[in-house]
Amino acid sequence: MLRLLAVDMVEDAGFTAVEAANSTEAVRILETRRDIQIVFTDVNMPQGIDGLDLATCIRDRWPWIEIIITSGKPFPLNTPMPARSVFYTKPYRQAQIIDQIKRMAA
């Protein structure tokens, strides 16, 4: 349900969204598509690695992709964020995320 809300938010702002049910599917999509510019992920993911590990994987394999990470919990201080990624604690304002996406896409 939350994933669908995020997709709607991104599409309503005029961007194309490609959704993945879990981190394994996200990696599969990234392996087959070269048009992905930004990944918006939650730390808590249903299957496979968590969103923070996914972000680290993306930074290592696809360094040109921008990353937005979100979670209902504050970011753990002992966990390093991948370079050039940003973190938003939920609940976030949709305008914050859309503004961030626009800056990253520019």
Q: Which two tokens stand for residue 95?
A: 């305008």
- pLDDT tens-digit map of 38-76: 999 999 888 889 999 999 999 999 999 999 999 988 876
Q: Residue 1: pLDDT band by 50, 70, 90 thresholds?
A: very low
DSSP string, 14-57: T------SSHHHHHHHHHH-S---EEEEES--SSSS-HHHHHHH
- pLDDT tens-digit map of 20-34: 999 999 999 999 999
Cβ atoms of residues 85 and 59 within 8 Å: yes
| Domains in the chain: ranges and CATH | 2-105 (3.40.50.2300)
Model-level pTM greater than 0.75? yes
Angle at 71 between CA 67 and CA 96, to 5 degrees: 60
